[in-house]
């Protein structure tokens, strides 16, 4: 087993780190305070290839492996978790799903613009009554012959206000249960497609999260992804890969907070020496580093499983549940190391602590991840 990164991997990592430090750091606190979407930076991410890293080069993507994606996600999330989740949704939930399940026409039409950052995508599964229970879709897509008529509401949609293209999970045949669900591509501007209020969130505040409403929206049949009734399979398969991206986001948040805690501990003096010389702080730093490294290798394992064609349902769920809980724990410890300074915005770690919490919730809560893992164990 080779734990060394290739030169290509190191180049991707360095490029992502450079972008994050030069383009995201300077206004991260301001954007968090104002809930301001990083429009300029997202365009730059597209130009640099970060929005379509794993998409095929045939469609204008980067053609990179999942390890490269994980490395870039970590570096960007170290500085700004909001930018990282925008990147994650476009890569993992939108582009991956389109490329693996879409028709040739759909791929040609949508992937190049999404991969380049010319357009942005969102993934619409959650509803007021369908979060962890994804089978309880109330959004309907009634078959009208050559088109579907879509009605319903989607909640908690990342990129919801900024996305040009939405992948919408909807129920076509209630009698078939989850086998009667479809995924439809709906473009912004389609009559009856309305962007609802922007959520005022605790964390990842510069990513935009909205409700989306559909009122008698006509969607042509050619915008259905895959065969009739495979929408639930599409959603679950796509989320499996998405969990690797969110695990990498959580890893980045934890790593960023840890690095700031180490730096601060060397600079801050108490009782005649830097606090890094006090055993209480050293123990915190040691535990932070250990948990981060454990999370990192769980994530690498899931990424390798995906790249090498093995099942990654269990490894992705393990990576996601552990990395997200590490992120929450490490950021809390980073605030503690900073003391009173950790509680003010200027030092970033309070933002990181707020950002960390959502990684335990979206794309499958920690409780759902444990159910997934248990089912894989007991097959």
d(C-alpha 177, C-alpha 167), whole Å? 20
Query: Is there a contact between 114 and 187 (Cβ–Cβ < 8 Å)?
Result: no
232: Cβ contacts below 8 Å, ≥ 6 apart: 134, 135, 169, 178, 179, 181
d(C-alpha 323, C-alpha 189), whole Å? 38
CATH of the domain at 49: 1.10.540.10
At residue 46, the 3 state secondary structure works out as helix
Query: Count of domains in the chain?
Result: 3
Is residue 208 situated within a structural domain? yes
d(C-alpha 113, C-alpha 263), whole Å? 41
DSSP 8-state secondary structure symbol assigned to residue 360: G
d(C-alpha 191, C-alpha 188), whole Å? 9
> Do 203 and 239 lie in a common domain?
no
> Do 346 and 263 lie in a common domain?
yes
Query: Is there a contact between 240 and 328 (Cβ–Cβ < 8 Å)?
Result: no
Please say whether the dihedral angle defined by the alpha carbons of residues 271, 274, 279 and 285, taken in this order, is positive or negative: positive
Q: What are phi and psi of 335, to 5 degrees?
A: -60, -40
So which residues are the catalytic ones?
Answer: 363
CATH of the domain at 134: 2.40.110.10
Residues in the chain: 379
Smallest Cα–Cα separation from 204: which of 348, 357, 71? 357
> Do 238 and 369 lie in a common domain?
yes
At residue 215, the 3 state secondary structure works out as strand
**Burial code of 305-342, b = ≥16 C-beta within 10 A, e = fewer?**
bbbeeeebbbbbbbbbbbbbbbbbebbebbbebbeeeb
> Do 204 and 268 lie in a common domain?
no
Is residue 162 situated within a structural domain? yes
CATH of the domain at 265: 1.20.140.10
In order along the chain (379 residues), what is the average pLDDT of each group of 10 residues?
89 98 98 98 98 97 97 98 98 97 97 97 92 86 97 97 97 92 97 96 97 98 96 95 97 98 96 96 98 98 97 98 98 98 97 98 96 96
> Do 264 and 200 lie in a common domain?
no
Is residue 2 situated within a structural domain? no
Is residue 90 situated within a structural domain? yes
Smallest Cα–Cα separation from 204: which of 68, 361, 49? 361
> Do 171 and 201 lie in a common domain?
yes
> Do 50 and 159 lie in a common domain?
no
The DSSP result for 245-309, as a single string, is HHHHHHHHHHHHHHHHHHHHHHH-EETTEEGGGSHHHHHHHHHHHHHHHHHHHHHHHHHHHHHTT
> Do 227 and 238 lie in a common domain?
no
d(C-alpha 250, C-alpha 321), whole Å? 10
> Do 14 and 44 lie in a common domain?
yes
**Strand residues in 24-119 grouped as ranges (E):** none
At residue 102, the 3 state secondary structure works out as coil
At residue 188, the 3 state secondary structure works out as coil
- What spatial distance separates the first Cα and last Cα of the chain, rounded to whole Å? 27
Domain residues for the domain of 132 are: 122-232
Is residue 168 situated within a structural domain? yes
Tokens of 41: 């930076």
> Do 225 and 306 lie in a common domain?
no
Q: What are phi and psi of 196, to 5 degrees?
A: -85, -165
d(C-alpha 137, C-alpha 154), whole Å? 10
> Do 194 and 79 lie in a common domain?
no
Domain stops at, among 189, 209, 232: 232
> Do 58 and 143 lie in a common domain?
no
């Amino acid at each position: 087993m080779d734990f060394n990164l290739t030169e290509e991997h190191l180049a991707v990592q360095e490029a992502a780190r450079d972008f994050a430090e030069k383009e995201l750091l300077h206004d991260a606190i301001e954007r968090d305070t104002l809930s301001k979407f990083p429009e300029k930076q997202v365009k730059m991410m597209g130009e640099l290839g970060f929005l379509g890293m794993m998409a095929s080069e045939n469609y204008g993507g980067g053609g990179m492996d999942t390890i490269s994606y994980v490395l870039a996600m970590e570096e960007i999330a170290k500085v700004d978790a909001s930018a990282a989740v925008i990147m994650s949704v476009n890569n993992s939930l939108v582009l991956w799903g389109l490329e693996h399940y879409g028709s040739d026409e759909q791929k040609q039409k949508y992937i190049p613009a999404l991969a380049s950052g010319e357009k942005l995508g969102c993934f619409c599964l959650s509803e007021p009554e369908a979060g962890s229970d994804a089978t309880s879709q109330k959004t309907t897509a009634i078959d009208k012959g050559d088109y579907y008529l879509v009605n319903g509401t989607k909640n908690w949609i990342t990129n919801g206000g900024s996305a040009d293209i939405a992948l919408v999970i909807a129920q076509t045949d209630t009698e078939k249960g989850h086998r009667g669900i479809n995924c439809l591509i709906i473009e912004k501007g389609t009559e009856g497609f309305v962007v609802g209020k922007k959520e005022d969130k605790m964390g990842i505040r510069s990513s935009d999260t909205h409700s989306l409403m559909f009122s008698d929206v006509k969607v042509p049949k050619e915008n259905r992804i895959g065969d009739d009734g495979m929408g639930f399979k599409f959603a679950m398969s796509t989320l499996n890969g998405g969990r690797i991206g969110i695990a990498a986001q959580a890893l980045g948040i934890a790593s960023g907070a840890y690095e700031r805690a180490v730096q601060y501990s060397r600079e801050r003096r108490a009782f005649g020496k830097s606090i890094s010389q006090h055993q209480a702080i050293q123990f915190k730093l040691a535990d932070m580093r250990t948990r981060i490294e454990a999370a990192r290798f769980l994530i690498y394992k899931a990424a390798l499983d995906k790249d090498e064609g093995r099942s990654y349902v269990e490894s992705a769920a393990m990576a996601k549940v552990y990395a997200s809980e590490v992120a929450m724990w490490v950021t809390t410890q980073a605030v503690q190391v900073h003391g009173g300074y950790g509680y003010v915005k200027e030092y970033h770690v309070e933002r990181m602590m707020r950002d960390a919490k959502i990684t335990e919730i979206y794309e499958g809560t920690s409780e759902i991840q444990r159910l997934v893992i248990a089912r894989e164990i007991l097959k």
